Amino acid sequence: MERSTGMNRRKFNTALATTGALAALSPFGIVRAQGAKLKVGVLLPRSGYLGFIGQSCQKGADLAPGVIKTLLGVDIELMNADTESNIDTARTRAERLIQEGAHVLVGAFDSGQSTAIAQVAEQRGVPYVVNIAAAPQITEQGYKFVFRNFPTAPDLVRNGLNNIGALFQATNVVPRSAVFMYVNDTFGLAMSKGINAFLPRLTNLPFKITESVPYDPAAKDLTVEVSKAKAANADFLLLVCRLQDSIILRREMVKQRWNPMGVISPGSPGMYEEQFAKVLGKYAEYCISNAPWYNPKTNMTKIVDAAFKKQNPGEKFVFHATNVAYTYESILIAADAYKRARSTDARALADAIRQTNITDRVALGGPIKFNAKGQVEGNLSACVQNLGGTPKVVLPADAAEAKPVFPWPGYKA
Amino acid sequence: MAVDLVVNVALAGVLTGLVYGLMALGLSVIFGVVRVVNFAHGEMMTVAMYAAVGLFTAFKLDPFLSVIPVAAAFFVLGYLLQTGLINPFITRPEHSQFMLLVAIAIIVVNGLLMAFGPDARNVQVDYQLESWAAGPILFDKARVYAAGVAILASGALFAFFRYTRTGKAIRACADNYLGAKVVGLDVKHYYALTFGLGSACVAVAGCMLILLVDVTPSLGPSYTLLAFVIVIVGGLGSMGGALLGGVLIGLSEAMAGLFIQPSAKSMFSFALLILVLLFRPQGLMGRRP
Amino acid sequence: MSAQRRAAALLALLAAALLALPLVANAYLLSVATLILFFAFSGQAWNVMMGFAGQLSLGHSLYVGLGAYAAAGLFFHFGIGPWAGIWLAIAVCVAAGAAIGFLAFRFGISGVYFALLTIAFAEFTRIGFDHIGWLGGPGGLFIKVEQRQAADLLNLRGPPVMFYYVMLALAAGAFALCAWLLRSRAGYYWQAIRENEEAAQALGINTFRWKMLAVVISAAMTSFSGVFFAFYYNNLFPETIFHISRSIEIILGPIIGGIGTLFGPILGAAVLTILADSITDLLAAVGLEFPGVKQVFYGVVLLLVVMFLPHGIWPALARRLGLDRKS
């Protein structure tokens, strides 16, 4: 507030009272207090079949206002909405949030729901930052208000395969064959296509895929699939999975006494999650996943980690790494843009987001910078391995917390 | 394709199928007698699984032992559910029954979500990941135990319906509703008894299934569908039919997964269902057309 | 005023309100209204099979999905607009419905067995489409969103208002069609079959043919839902569009509103959608926003309606409004 010589107590009190009266009228968005809070609409699937993941992402959103206030001095007000893992609800909730005065939208984990929200955001001219969704089409529509800070499916494939090459170099192992098991969903399909496209061209990957075994994401029993994969007699298992089936698969591997060099995921959820470690105990050890992750060495990661511990006592940041890191960053992007734009006007915010260049961040990768399509290009996957009960970053070396172990102990050629 | 691979897969298919059959047993009993389409079947089993998890967490009770208290509790619950809620719906059209049970299913699933959160829960017993080996053939311990219980349970039910007075009375109610009433049978009571019995079966299945699968609140619907497929294929009201149906489904899925495409193996179950519905709607071991 | 006059007056009022809605409603309400009309239309289509001909279909997502993929596939691969694509959609759905109907009725499958047959077909198709790479497989089919400002009716590209009116036209069309069907010979034969199929057969009615007609009309109408969905959301995944939960969503409206009635599906769709949203708001206001709470309330309301209003809300409401004829 400017200091003016003509101000006295009476004028000040009148001004205060007037502002108070105006603020009282503002629930209906009639008057918005200038430059006070940035309203961020958070759309996540907190119930329904994605409920588990949505709630995990929500943790990243919940800690954001506190951290951002300290770091940037920006006031964030979260407006949380549950998409219920349903595209119809996602769309109407997005409209509702905009109606209620959200300046920016973030969310929504699922590609289908994010696409629906993107259309609403573009239609209404409200900036939308996608936290997690891998379908490349979301940023291929020529939208002016939709931004995504997450690797696309082709990015994930490429990063994952590169990491695997680096892994073999770091551990000095040359496996010659792999059996590729993948869940028949978006990730699995993208991986399968990507592997067919990239693998022949990547010279630092010495192995061949001897057998491909796709499986149904809804299958509760994977005996046949594991039997088939085991019979391929490959050196290691290349696996694209989800949480529930990764547990079933690993269990089945133990029951069928299948002991390859190791299990590596080029890019999918599952093996690094808490449930996996809790349920499988020692059998979860040494499983390797490549996934977008936080960079354990950056300053902001440490701050977010501390905030997470405070807000979620008894839980570990590492088990919500991807969800929390990227959801937090989506709100960070909004706040950073707001700080530079100095206004909550949608167009100004969108333009400011387009100019984003955040170098001190949580997620692993280059700076947060959007290309012409609204996509961040430098996000990387970390190679994480379950060691001592928690996933630890083993690659890239400059972000590593431990050294990779491959093949896993107990492997007999 | 190696012989031992095929044998292992076939064996696994049969064992899994028996477990599926156990899961469908309760539905067969209820549907076969009371003629209510229990679309909340999978949800009931989910609750049983949570009960088993609860008992394990609190008292380190092995699911095999949990079977007794959980089945008893479910018997009572089933009886009450039938008398209280479902009885007026027996004469109502199918879509009404369906809606009633869908509503119950929604409440149960989301109630579980509220109570337990979305994380998967499980029990951890020693023999869960062990297997016996006979040369290259592997027998999964947990599945063998569960399959054993399936056979025992269906045998017990069969004996009950064949040899006990109550069992015969229930069959009478199922075969001829009017006739049963004429002879003075308390049909309402027997219906409730049957629902209780079916629920107890579901509870047993849940306790066994928790050894193989982790439980989440939304686990139910896929099992409901599977149970219906098995019951239709095997035959309504037939204990052996439920097991046979389960084995058929388990085996065909296993073989389809092995020789064709694992990700499409469920299609074969549905194809089997369609074929059975068309050519032998009473199921393989069913009595009524 | 006679019941018929009163009904006509109320209908006119409703039509006027719906036509004028975009002028007064904000974008959020418009999206909710579009959703209500979508479910009203789909429910009306389903009602033809169930309410008119008495066949319980629990796999109607099959037609939504087939219609959606037919039109979307043509647009994605060949640039053929939805007005041409709808013909393929109708054809495919009619074929599917005819196949199911033929198999079911020739083999004497009815009641809950028929319902299970429809579920089996829907599930079979769902997994099948997960393996059709040409239509995107599990990765989904995404239609390019060209522009959203001007209403391009030919390609169904445009602002939400355009979609609202398209859906309104569809819902009104379905209503008119069903009203006409009910009063036609088909309607009477269907009622006879519904009440007592054997007696109808004894009277010489070719029940097979009329049941098939109901199934085929229902399937064809539902294909429109699919096409609309494809162009409204611009993305399709087999996992969600063929899912059994979508089938259940479609039938909730008519069952709650009143099976076999003309207004049942519309009323049911409106009540359920508004109810769902209201519960969310109520819980937010009270601070009880835990995941799952809303659905529990929703389930309880469903339970109560099913238990105490077995014929749905509309018959009771109609009586209250004095709209039913004293026959």
Range with the poorest average pLDDT among A17-26, A363-372, C15-24: A17-26
Helices (H) and strands (E) in chain C, counts: 14, 2
Q: Which residues of C213-252 are buried (b: 16+ CB within 10 A; e: fewer)?
A: bbbbbbbbbbbbbbbbbbbbbbbbbbbbbbbbebbbbbbb
Note the pLDDT of residue A13.
Answer: 45
Average pLDDT of every residue of chain C: 88
Listed residue (A113, A115, A119, A84) closest to A98, CA to CA: A119
> Could you report the per-residue pLDDT of A82-121, keeping only the tens digit for each?
999 999 999 999 999 999 999 999 999 988 999 999 999 9
> Could you report the per-residue pLDDT of A81-92, keeping only the tens digit for each?
999 999 999 999
**Interacting residues of C52 by C-beta distance below 8 A, sequence separation 6+:** C178, C181, C182, C187, C190, C191, C194, C214, C260
Give the pLDDT band (50/70/90) at residue B205: very high
Question: Which residue from A51, A214, A279 is facing B118, i.e. has the nearest CB?
Answer: A51
Listed residue (B219, B217, B210, B212) closest to B63, CA to CA: B210
Give the pLDDT band (50/70/90) at residue B287: low
Most confident of A189-203, C97-111, C213-227: C213-227
Per CB-CB distance under 8 Å, the chain B contacts of A314 are none
Instruction: Show the CA angle centred on residue C266, arms to residues C317 and C263, nearest 5°.
Output: 50
Quote the radius of gyration of chain B (alpha carbons, Å).
19
Question: Which residue from B94, B96, B277 is facing C117, i.e. has the nearest CB?
Answer: B277
CB A184 within 8 A of CB A217: yes
> Could you report the per-residue pLDDT of B238-262, keeping only the tens digit for each?
888 889 999 999 999 899 888 888 8
Query: Which subunits sit against C, judged by 3+ Cβ pairs under 8 A?
Result: A, B
Q: Does the structure show a pLDDT above 90 at C284?
A: no
**Interacting residues of A369 by C-beta distance below 8 A, sequence separation 6+:** A356, A357, A376, A377, A378
The H or E element containing residue A289 is strand A288-292
Q: Which residue has the tokens 């607009």?
A: C81
Range with the poorest average pLDDT among A65-69, A351-355, B52-56, C299-303: C299-303
Nearest chain A alpha carbon to C140: A186
- CA–CA distances in Å: residue B241 to residues A69, A91, A209, B151: 65, 46, 42, 12
- What residue ranges in A139-183 does DSSP mark as E strands? 146-148, 177-183
Q: Does the structure show a pLDDT above 50 at A284?
A: yes
Tokens of A334: 């909004």
CA distance C310 to chain A (A): 28
Listed residue (C321, C216, C225) closest to C269, CA to CA: C225
Give the pLDDT band (50/70/90) at residue C291: confident
CB A122 within 8 A of CB C159: no
CB A368 within 8 A of CB A358: yes
Note the pLDDT of residue A34.
Answer: 43
Note the pLDDT of residue C1.
Answer: 63
Per CB-CB distance under 8 Å, the chain B contacts of C58 are 98
Q: Which residues of B43-52 are buried (b: 16+ CB within 10 A; e: fewer)?
A: bbbbbbbbbb
Enumerate residues 78 to 137 of chain C having a beta carbon within 8 A of any beta carbon in chain B: 103, 107-109, 111-113, 115-117, 119-121, 123-124, 127-128, 130-131
Note the pLDDT of residue A303.
Answer: 95
The H or E element containing residue A81 is strand A75-82
Q: Is A26 helix (H, G, I), strand (E, B) or coil?
A: helix
CB atoms < 10 A from the CB of C206, how many?
A: 11
Q: Is C76 helix (H, G, I), strand (E, B) or coil?
A: helix
Q: Does the structure show a pLDDT above 90 at A241?
A: yes
Nearest chain C alpha carbon to A120: C160
Range C85-110 average pLDDT: 91
Range A129-141 average pLDDT: 92
CA dist., res. B189 & res. A84, Å (int): 41
Range B22-35 average pLDDT: 86
Tokens of C133: 């790479």
Q: Which residues of A347-356 are buried (b: 16+ CB within 10 A; e: fewer)?
A: ebbbebbbeb
Amino acid at B189: H
Q: Does the structure show a pLDDT above 50 at B289?
A: no
Note the pLDDT of residue B91.
Answer: 79
Enumerate residues 331 to 370 of chain A having a beta carbon within 8 A of any beta carbon in chain C: none
B264 interface with C at CB cutoff 8 Å: yes
Q: Which residue has the tokens 């869908």?
A: B102
Give the pLDDT band (50/70/90) at residue C324: low
Mutate one of B98, B104, B116, B119 to test the C interface: name it (highest C CB count within 10 A). B98
Task: State the helix-helix crossing angle for B3-34 and B165-175, rounded to 10 degrees.
Answer: 80
**All structural domains of chain C:** 27-320 (1.10.3470)
DSSP classification of residue A366: S
Amino acid at C209: R
CA dist., res. C214 & res. C206, Å (int): 13
Note the pLDDT of residue C317.
Answer: 87
Tokens of C113: 């067995």
Note the pLDDT of residue B288.
Answer: 52
CA dist., res. C18 & res. A279, Å (int): 55
Q: Say how many CA atoms lie within 13 Å of A403 toward its Cβ.
A: 6
Which residues lie across from A183 on neighbouring strands?
A: A215
Range B145-174 average pLDDT: 88
C153 interface with B at CB cutoff 8 Å: no
What are the DSSP calls for chain B, one per residue? --HHHHHHHHHHHHHHHHHHHHHHHHHHHHHHHH----TTHHHHHHHHHHHHHHHHHHH---HHHHHHHHHHHHHHHHHHHIIIIIGGGTTS-HHHHHHHHHHHHHHHHHHHHHHH-SS-B----GGGG-EEEETTEEEEHHHHHHHHHHHHHHHHHHHHHHHSHHHHHHHHHHH-HHHHHHTT--HHHHHHHHHHHHHHHHHHHHHHHTTTS-B-GGGHHHHHHHHHHHHHHH-TT-HHHHHHHHHHHHHHHHHHHHHT-GGGHHHHHHHHHHHHHHH-TT-SS-S--
Q: Does the structure show a pLDDT above 50 at A33?
A: no
Pairing of strands A75-82, A37-44: parallel
Amino acid at C131: H
Per CB-CB distance under 8 Å, the chain B contacts of A225 are 257, 262
Note the pLDDT of residue C147.
Answer: 66
Enter the pTM of the model: 0.86
CA dist., res. C108 & res. B78, Å (int): 33
C279 interface with B at CB cutoff 8 Å: no
Listed residue (A342, A192, A226, A395) closest to C131, CA to CA: A192
Q: Does the structure show a pLDDT above 80 at A196?
A: yes
Amino acid at A407: P
Note the pLDDT of residue B274.
Answer: 87
Range C64-75 average pLDDT: 95
**All structural domains of chain A:** 31-151+296-379 (3.40.50.2300), 154-293+382-399 (3.40.50.2300)
Q: Does the structure show a pLDDT above 70 at A41?
A: yes
**Interacting residues of B158 by C-beta distance below 8 A, sequence separation 6+:** B239, B240
CA dist., res. A171 & res. A177, Å (int): 17
For the CA atoms of C194, C199, C201, C205, the dihedral, rounded to the nearest 10 degrees, stands at -70
Amino acid at B10: A
Most confident of A30-44, B43-57, B269-283: B43-57
More confident residue, A148 or C138: A148
CA dist., res. C214 & res. A243, Å (int): 44
CA dist., res. A353 & res. A366, Å (int): 17
Q: Is A39 helix (H, G, I), strand (E, B) or coil?
A: strand
Q: Which residue has the tokens 């936290």?
A: A131
> Could you report the per-residue pLDDT of B94-145, keeping only the tens digit for each?
788 888 888 999 999 999 988 888 888 888 888 888 888 888 888 888 899 9
Share of chain A above pLDDT 90, in %: 70
Which residues lie across from A370 on neighbouring strands?
A: A376
Note the pLDDT of residue A29.
Answer: 35
CA dist., res. A98 & res. A126, Å (int): 8
Q: Does the structure show a pLDDT above 70 at C69?
A: yes
Range A124-149 average pLDDT: 93
Give the pLDDT band (50/70/90) at residue C325: low
Average pLDDT of every residue of chain A: 88
For A342, list phi and psi in degrees, rounded to 5. 60, 30
Give the pLDDT band (50/70/90) at residue A27: very low
> Could you report the per-residue pLDDT of A287-332, keeping only the tens digit for each?
999 999 999 999 999 999 999 999 999 999 999 999 999 999 999 9
CB C118 within 8 A of CB C105: no
DSSP classification of residue A408: P
Q: Does the structure show a pLDDT above 50 at A5?
A: no
Range C13-24 average pLDDT: 91
Listed residue (A150, A145, A140) closest to A117, CA to CA: A145
Which residues lie across from A80 on neighbouring strands?
A: A42
Question: Which residue from C124, C245, C259 is facing B95, i.e. has the nearest CB?
Answer: C259
Quote the radius of gyration of chain A (alpha carbons, Å).
23
CA distance B9 to chain A (A): 6
Per CB-CB distance under 8 Å, the chain B contacts of C307 are 85, 88, 100
